[in-house]
Amino acid sequence: EDQVTQSPEALRLQEGESSSLNCSYTVSGLRGLFWYRQDPGKGPEFLFTLYSAGEEKEKERLKATLTKKESFLHITAPKPEDSATYLCAVQAMEYGNKLVFGAGTILRVKS
Amino acid sequence: DAGVIQSPRHEVTEMGQEVTLRCKPISGHNSLFWYRQTMMRGLELLIYFNNNVPIDDSGMPEDRFSAKMPNASFSTLKIQPSEPRDSAVYFCASSFSGITGELFFGEGSRLTVL
C-alpha cells in the first residue's frame, strides 16, 4: 500500500486556469511534508515545507496547504513556465529521517 | 555557489560491467543522499550519509550496489556487476543536517545498461 499518493497523475491547464494538486498520506507521526518541482532532465527543486495541519506557505503563484490527511498545492493563474512535475514527500517517525516521495503530478500549462 | 555536482551525466554500458557514479555535495552540507528514479517506482532512497557515515542503506537493492563517502566533498555509488534492470536516473542530494527534508539535488546520472 502506497503511503504517499498524488492526484491527478497528469493535469492540463490553459494559461490562467487555476487548479489544485493533491497529496494524500497514510503515515503516522508526520514530521514534515515537502513539495518539490522537477523539470525534464533535472533534479527535483525544493519548494515548500509544511509541518502541521492548518499551515500554509506561498511562493508566487503557488500555495501549499496541509491537513491531517493530505496536502494541496494550489496554482493560481498558471503560466506555461509552471509546467513541470510536482512531487510531494513525507518525513515520518516510522521512516526515521528518510523522505518518501509520491509518484508526482505532471502539469502542462498551455498558452 | 555551485550546486550538487554529479558525473557522468550519461552512462551507457553493457551488462556485467562496473559502473561508478560520482557526487560532490554543496560545501557545508553534511548529509548526502543517493536516490534512484524510474518510471515504475518513482524516486527511491538508496542510502544516506551523515557526516560521511552511512546511516541507512536499507534501500540499496542488493550486494551489487555499494556507496562510499571518503570525505565531506565526495561520494561514489558503484554497481558491480551491472544489469539491465539497473537502468535509471541516479540522483545525489545534499542537505544541512537537521533540515533533512529540504534537499538540494544534482542533475542526475542517466544510466543505461544494455
B54-76 pLDDT tens trace: 999 999 988 999 999 999 999 99
Beta carbons within 8 Å of A7's beta carbon, 6+ residues apart: A21, A22, A24, A105
The pair phi, psi for residue A26, each rounded to 5°, is -120, 10
Measured between alpha carbons, how far is A3 from A90 in angstroms, rounded to an integer?
9
Q: How far is B1 from chain A (nearest CA, A)?
A: 16
Confidence of residue B98 (pLDDT cuts 50, 70, 90): low
Confidence of residue A81 (pLDDT cuts 50, 70, 90): very high
Average confidence (pLDDT) over A65-82? 96
Q: Select the residue of B44, B56, B108 nearest A96 (Cβ to Cβ).
A: B56
Beta carbons within 8 Å of A111's beta carbon, 6+ residues apart: A15, A79, A80
How far from each other are the two terminal CA atoms of chain A, in whole angstroms? 38
> Which residues from A are below 8 Å from B when comparing CB atoms?
31-32, 34, 41-46, 49, 87, 89, 91, 96-99, 101-104
Q: Do A98 and B107 touch (CB under 8 A)?
A: no
Q: How far is B53 from chain A (nearest CA, A)?
A: 14
In this predicted structure, the answer to whether residue B1 has a pLDDT above a threshold of 70 is no
Cβ-based neighbour number of residue B96 at 10 Å: 13
Would you state the pLDDT for residue A96? 76
Average confidence (pLDDT) over A100-108? 96
Residues of B in Cβ contact (< 8 Å) with A49: 101-102
- Strand pairing of B88-95 and B104-105? antiparallel
A73 and A66 in contact (C-beta within 8 Å)?
no
Residues of B in Cβ contact (< 8 Å) with A97: 48, 55-56, 100
In this predicted structure, the answer to whether residue A95 has a pLDDT above a threshold of 90 is no
